[in-house]
Amino acid sequence: MFESRKSPKIAAGAVLLFAAAPASAEDGYRLWLRYDPVEAAQLTGYAARATEIVVDAHGPTAEAAASELKRGLSGLLGTTIFSRPGVDRDGAIVLALARTAGLGTEGFRIRTKHLNGHRVTLISANSERGLLYGSFALLRRIQTRRPLDNFNLRDRPALPIRMLDHWDNPDGFVERGYAGRSLWDWQSLPGRIDPRYVDYARANASIGINGTVLNNVNAKAEMLTAAYLLKVKALADVFRPWGIRVYLSARFSAPIELGHLKTADPLDPAVRAWWRSKTTEIYRLIPDFGGFLVKANSEGQPGPQDYHRTHADGANMLAAALRPYGGVALWRAFVYSSSGEDRAKQAYDEFRPLDGKFASNVILQVKNGPIDFQPREPFHPLFGAMPATRMAMEAQITKEYLGFNTHLAYLGSMWEEVLKSRTFRPRPASRVSDTIGAMAGVANTGRDRNWSGSDFDQANWYAFGRLAWDPSLKARSIAEEWTRMTWGNDSRIVAAVVPIMMTSRDDVVNYMTPLGLAHLMGTGHHYGPAPWVSDQARPEWNPTYYHRADATGIGFDRTATGSNALAQYAPEAARRFDDFYVSALDYLLWFHHVRWDQRVHSGRTLWDELVTRYDWGVQGVQAMRTDWRSLKGLVDDQRFAAVSANLAAQEREARWWRDACLAYFQSVSHRPLPPGHAPPEHPLAYYQALRFPNAPGQPH
């Protein structure tokens, strides 16, 4: 477990041991922090000769930084690393607090420098946290074989809040979790501290995550009881040295459930007093508690509207309780009702009028797109539309709608696409990344040995953290970094793995929901295709609501002739989406209802284009399998086999998606498949009869 080898001698022995070790040796537990020895020929630069670290800072976070450097360097360089009070030889790694303009409280600088007549690598920062992030950055540099001589690196996070949201329940179940039960063993906390909590914190710190919401947004009030707060405190104490603050999802009606009040009305003095005293109780235990996350009046959760109050009234009440302690209230904008209004419009309609009404320590947490974490959505129209409100972008790392933990889908490309989308407001040059101050990722972690349910799902955790640190990073360079750290630096590995990752998300879009389609997944569990479902009580619970396929065409008209959701975007952005020939047709059916026989950009009819895209999706997975096979012998057998098995399942499921969707759409369009495209393997009724009552992650 993250152990590094102490000396070259031991390293050689360890390799032998690993070779004969039981099957758990390459189980993915070490994530991207493997710290395996660097090939001698690739060691250049003074830092590569490091045998000592000198820490000119005191405190638990500086200690964490030093311990990670020791662990990492001794593994990578195969030497024993000593801590020393002063520099006495070349190659030392020096951690020093030094007031430096422009680095803020989390930034760092790393450079090679002469100190006491010796050539050293100096990591400097204004804070211990900066030293921690700088230490991980240096290790990453070695792990990815970047030059270590004469470099001068300055970096600081673009967003102050970079957090994971766990949808974990007190009973250990993880909603939409595909990596086993919750990491938090509430039963044994606070008494027993699983060493895994530290490894979780290290992994997060290595990518700059600085906050974690421990429990599900569909929150149970019991998380706020004194007994649970002691457990939360125990975790907060473990995470603190690693720069991570703990937050809790708060159930809005907790004053009734726990405080036995008659109401949870946010303007009621007794309710306000209850939240104040609960907040004080929390800060007494956890002085750096981050704040509350709230899902209110959404999917059956209680909220201020139960008392005819607004979301701002609710959020501001919690913000007032948190303000004396520096905490924030993260208020989710994920709301929709059965009102009959286009679901894609509802959050904007609800929240936009509240701009300017939220307290300054409220952050509105908005999903990346206007519906719900679909394989592809246009950006949420609230980004840039509420200039007087602090905003967070919420992304889903766990792949509820992108194939659970079996399908290989690298989400870095999806988030890059959203973050760089031009909102054209509040300024003409604005992009989504300019309109947010925080990013929250719904975690994909669980108690599986590999943490995320599959080896490649680790990349999504990694990419989320890196993008939250710097939203201008390119998904491709993140994929390369991760590949080098996770699979190896061999150029053949990098050349095969990175392209697999970069095309993977588009493959999923193509075999699930091409051309701007959305929410065709099986209702409830969201496993597999079910575009035919139309019998759910609320209109927007039915896939047919989203695709609107009929004998003449398919797609949701969100232009002025339809729901006019387009009008929620700045005119320049709306014009782009409105353009029938939207680039690469990515959003076509999101915004338009299009005739089956209409010719689209490619020159094909829409029907032929749809069939073609479904086939591309399946072919893409086949290509991934072929490329992956080329890595046999280049990556370890254990992980090679695990990925191979997943890819085989993905190919089967991609075909299933393609066949089921085409069988259904054909039953509506009554059109023949274009030449060269195989008919679905089974009749439509076969797919419609499939049932998955035990699909994982379903709320219960």
Q: Which positions touch ligand BDP (CB under 6 A)?
A: 175-176, 217-218, 295, 299, 334, 372-373, 400, 699
DSSP string, 14-51: HHHHHHHS-GGGGSSTTTT---PPPPGGG--SSGGG--
Name the minimum Å distance from CB 524 to ligand BDP. Answer: 9
Nearer to ligand BDP, 135 or 444 (CB): 444
Nearer to ligand BDP, 176 or 399 (CB): 176
**List 171, 299, 572, 681, catalytic entry:** 299
Name the minimum Å distance from CB 333 to ligand BDP. Answer: 11
Name the minimum Å distance from CB 521 to ligand BDP. Answer: 10
d(CA 567, CA 569): 5
Q: In 3D, which of 628, 621, 665 has the Cα closest to residue 510?
A: 621
Contact 636, 487 (CB under 8 A): no
**List 52, 372, 416, 653, catalytic entry:** 372
357 burial class (0-12, 13-18, 19+ CB within 10 angstroms)? middle
As given in the structure block, the two tokens for residue 277 are 């005293």
As given in the structure block, the two tokens for residue 62 are 């500086």
Residue 607 backbone zone (phi > 0: left; psi -120 to 50: alpha; other: beta) = alpha
Nearer to ligand BDP, 399 or 658 (CB): 399
Contact 661, 543 (CB under 8 A): no
Nearer to ligand BDP, 64 or 217 (CB): 217
Counting runs of H as helices and runs of E as strands, what totals does the chain give? Answer: 19, 16
**List 26, 265, 377, 400, catalytic entry:** 400
Name the minimum Å distance from CB 67 to ligand BDP. Answer: 36
Nearer to ligand BDP, 277 or 523 (CB): 523
Three-state SS for 391? Answer: strand
Peptide bond into 370 cis (omega under 30): no
d(CA 45, CA 49): 7
d(CA 77, CA 38): 6
Name the minimum Å distance from CB 401 to ligand BDP. Answer: 7
Nearer to ligand BDP, 400 or 586 (CB): 400
DSSP string, 538-565: SGGGSHHHHH---SSEES---STTTT-G
195 burial class (0-12, 13-18, 19+ CB within 10 angstroms)? exposed
Name the minimum Å distance from CB 167 to ligand BDP. Answer: 7
Name the minimum Å distance from CB 308 to ligand BDP. Answer: 23
Three-state SS for 154? Answer: strand
**Rg of the chain in Å (alpha carbons):** 26
d(CA 314, CA 329): 10
- To the query of whether residue 299 is one of the catalytic residues in this protein, the response is yes
Question: Closest CB to ligand BDP belongs to which residue?
Answer: 372
As given in the structure block, the two tokens for residue 118 are 């010796």
Contact 362, 316 (CB under 8 A): yes
DSSP 521: B
Three-state SS for 393? Answer: strand
How many Cβ atoms are within 10 Å of 111's Cβ, its own excluded? 14
Name the minimum Å distance from CB 196 to ligand BDP. Answer: 25
Name the minimum Å distance from CB 463 to ligand BDP. Answer: 20
Name the minimum Å distance from CB 431 to ligand BDP. Answer: 24
- To the query of whether residue 52 is one of the catalytic residues in this protein, the response is no
DSSP string, 341-384: S-HHHHHHHHHGGGTT-S-TTEEEEEESSSSSS-SS-PPPTTTT
Nearer to ligand BDP, 175 or 481 (CB): 175
How many Cβ atoms are within 10 Å of 356's Cβ, its own excluded? 10
Contact 217, 164 (CB under 8 A): no
Q: Which residues are catalytic?
A: 299, 372, 400
